[in-house]
Amino acid sequence: MRIALRIGYWLFAIALLAAILVSLDYTLSQAVLIGLVFCPCALALEYLMPKARRPVDKVYLSLAVLLSIVLLILVLHQCVWTTLTQYGAHLPEKEVPPMLINPAFLGLILTVLSIGDFYWARWIGRRYKAKDRSVTFFSERRSITLPLADILYIESNDTEVRIVTASGESYRNKTGISQWGNLLGEDFLRIHRSYLVRADAATLISADTVSVGEVQLPVSRKYRESIYSCLAKRSQASSSHLVPGRP
């Protein structure tokens, strides 16, 4: 269901983009085709931006994504008109509408799409809790499916991550830890640039250490406040269930 809802978001986004492009004198099929190029560019912006640590890296990434989508639109536009001419549609040469190569317009569309997908994924994560969900990924060329409730934490080691389960098993995967954070949702906490832990399995044992199962993991200053807040709320919720007569 989670995958279907994510796909539904992008189908809706493509439909809106197609409506805009139809108003620019494209046919519906041409508008849908050109609208499709926004999806990978928006996803690239969404998943790669958290990895850009320095402001200058974020600027370079934004410029690279904008340049990529402009080139894709120009190439696709030319291919569409060339194909139509080859099949006997004697059409005058059509220039690319200025709006489609306007960096401000393209940046706005990509930002709206990526932010919308991010918050949509968060809503889906709240709607479908970890105990009812599972995740499928590739580890050493094998397809692995795990219930989220079985995952203790994820450790990033530069080029790959290690997924550690409650039973002590571990799996290697090439997906970045930021993308894992988006995939797993709010049931998992980012405690360090290298660690993502399941919230209901984590116990704060000191100002800079969290216990997960039998393992102690470091807490970085960047994530300390959000971790304190989340674990405090969970502790209060647990106490309210343990005290008789408490609402």
User: In whole angstroms, how far apart are CA 216 and each of 37, 121, 170, 201, 210?
Assistant: 44, 29, 16, 12, 6
Contact 52, 39 (CB under 8 A): no
What's the mean per-residue pLDDT of the chain?
A: 81
Is 110 in the same domain as 163? no
For the chain, how many structural domains are there in total? 2
Asked if the structure places residue 114 within a domain, the reply is yes
Judge if 32 and 120 occupy the same domain.
yes
Residue 157 and residue 86 share a domain: no
Q: How far apart are CA 35 and CA 15, in angstroms?
A: 8
For residues 211 and 232, state if they share a domain.
yes
Q: Is residue 46 part of a domain?
A: yes
Taking only the tens place, the pLDDT of each residue in 77-128 is 777 656 655 555 444 456 777 888 888 888 899 999 999 988 888 787 777 6
CA atoms within 13 A on the CB side of 11: 6
- Encode 120-158: b = buried (16+ Cβ within 10 Å), e = exposed: bbeebbeebebeebebebebeeeeeebebbebbbbbbee
Q: pLDDT-based confidence at 129, cuts 50/70/90?
A: low
Give 55-105 as a DSSP string: HHHHHHHHHHHHHHHHHHHHHHHHHHHHHHHHTT------PPPGGGG-HHH
One domain for residues 105 and 221: no
Domain end point (choices 77, 92, 127): 127
CATH number at residue 161: 2.40.50.1020
Question: Which of 93, 127, 161 represents a domain boundary (last residue)?
Answer: 127
Residue length, the chain? 247
**One domain for residues 171 and 114:** no
pLDDT digits over 142-179, tens only? 899 998 889 999 999 878 999 999 888 999 999 889 88
On the question of pLDDT at 240 being above 50, the answer is no
State which of 97, 127, 157 marks the end of a domain: 127
Look up the domain containing 136 and give its range.
132-242
Report residue 23 CA to chain centroid gap: 30
The verdict on residue 235 lying in a domain is yes
Q: Indicate if the pLDDT at residue 183 is higher than 70.
A: yes
Looking at the structure, tell me whether residues 230 and 123 fall in a common domain: no
Q: Based on the domain organization, do 122 and 206 belong to the same domain?
A: no
> Is residue 180 assigned to a domain?
yes
pLDDT the model gives residue 87: 52
In a domain? residue 142: yes
Output the CA–CA distances (angstroms, integers) from residue 202 to 59, 153, 169, 218, in the order listed: 36, 9, 18, 12
Torsion of the alpha carbons at 77, 83, 85 and 87, rounded to the nearest 10 = -150
Examine the domain organization and report whether 139 and 46 are in the same domain.
Answer: no
